Amino acid sequence: MHTLGNLLDSFVDESVFKFNGIQIVNQYPNLVDIVANYKNELASADHSQPYLLNSQHTFEKTMYFPHCNGEYTVTWDINRASHLINQMIQNRRLIANEVSVEEVYPYIQKNEITESYLPNALKSNEPIILVWYSPTSQKLIIDGNHRVAARYRQDAKTKIQVYGPFSHYAHIDFMPNDLNRKLFVIHHNMQMIFNYMKGDMTKRELFSGEIGLFNGTEDLNWMKGYFSPLVMNH
């Protein structure tokens, strides 16, 4: 379940701006229609797990919107991510970076750390996976939180291997299904619209696929048939 619709409604009644004490600089045309379309997209989104590989290895993060009592939880399929990362490595499009543990420690999910896992995590040299979560402008470790925590306690200056940070265009493919991807894209787009309406982004920047709306558009038609299940070779 999610209540992202509450966030969408707060744009229509402008409470998201009032709550943050922000004056609207640019009105956004067709905002009511966009919100209605996003609600329909979420209501019809496939929330099954057809793309999960071995199903159990996932990472979840809940996003909260206190001004409207809204929230949603987004999931990444770590098996899928690892498979795609291996493909990137084989195609020579990715190598692991080596950084000090103290550089990535701020991105761990401290409330997700289980003490009993730390000794085994210390033995693992598998690179961690770091993503850029564009709607909230934060980096998240979606795989390797215990590896980082264990090493940080031992020696904050020690080195660790990192894949990433992956951009929003890259790690969306690590998500397991249509619903997760739409929750992410809609939140991203609404944040970009928020930035435009408060005057922090020009219209040209907003419709730029690099820093603005996903794929430079407010609609989600590009997502239809864009993703496909991974077929594993046995």
What's the chain's average pLDDT? 93
Tens digits of residue pLDDT in 37-68: 999 999 999 887 665 555 578 999 999 999 99
Determine which of 161-175, 187-201, 217-231 has the lowest per-residue pLDDT on average.
217-231
Tens digits of residue pLDDT in 168-195: 999 999 998 899 999 999 999 999 999 9
Looking at the predicted structure, is the pLDDT value of residue 234 above 50?
no
CA distances from 184 to 58, 86, 123, 133, 187 (A): 16, 24, 33, 9, 5
pLDDT tier at 152 (50, 70, 90 boundaries)? very high
Q: Give the mean pLDDT of 211-225.
A: 92
CA distances from 11 to 30, 165, 187, 198 (A): 12, 30, 12, 12
pTM for the full predicted model = 0.93
Name the amino acid, one letter, at 74.
Answer: V
What does the pLDDT read at residue 89?
A: 96
**Percent of the chain at pLDDT exceeding 90:** 85
Q: Give the mean pLDDT of 153-179.
A: 95
Name the amino acid, one letter, at 130.
Answer: L
Q: Give the mean pLDDT of 219-232.
A: 78
Domain boundary assignment for the chain? 4-223
- 8 Å CB contact between 108 and 173: no
Burial class of residue 56 (count of CB atoms within 10 Å of its CB; 0-12, 13-18, 19+): exposed
Looking at the predicted structure, is the pLDDT value of residue 151 above 60?
yes
